[in-house]
Amino acid sequence: MTTYVDTSVLLKRYVDEPDSDRAQELLAADPELATGRHTIVEVRRNLARLLMATDAAAARVAFADDVGALSIVELDAATCETAAAVAEQTGVRTLDALHLGAALRLGTAITFLTFDARQAHAARALGFPVAGV
């Protein structure tokens, strides 16, 4: 089964935060991980914001390696249209809508992995099994 992972989960691999160990366990539990293309922007922005320069550089390299193992859902017109409908339906923030729209492109039989409570609530409302929160 594929697991869709959002930024809140991936950041915990590189930044020591509450639930970082739990995130590692959940990520290791499924060899088929997917995320949206915009996750790369979100993670790199947050690495630069949260870590000192040398730590951020090392985390960026590790993240680039990890991205190679992820299936990336492109933010094409269909994905963005789905995300817009999700935003209208659930009221989630733009980036969360993009995550949910990308996940919907994979189908609701996947697990949606997040540590964002609002996004988890919206994912459940869309029919996803949710892990993390």
- CATH number for the domain spanning 63: value is 3.40.50.1010
Per the structure, the complete domain to which residue 113 belongs is given by 3-132
Give the SS3 label for residue 118: helix
Q: Do residues 67 and 40 make contact, with C-beta atoms less than 8 angstroms apart?
A: yes
| Structural domain count, the chain | 1
The whole-angstrom separation of Cα 66 and Cα 60 is 10
The whole-angstrom separation of Cα 65 and Cα 31 is 15
* pLDDT by residue, tens only, the chain of 133 residues: 699 999 999 999 999 999 999 999 999 999 999 999 999 999 999 999 999 999 999 999 999 999 999 999 999 999 999 999 999 999 999 999 999 999 999 998 999 999 999 999 999 999 999 999 9
Token pair 């994905």 is at which residue? 79
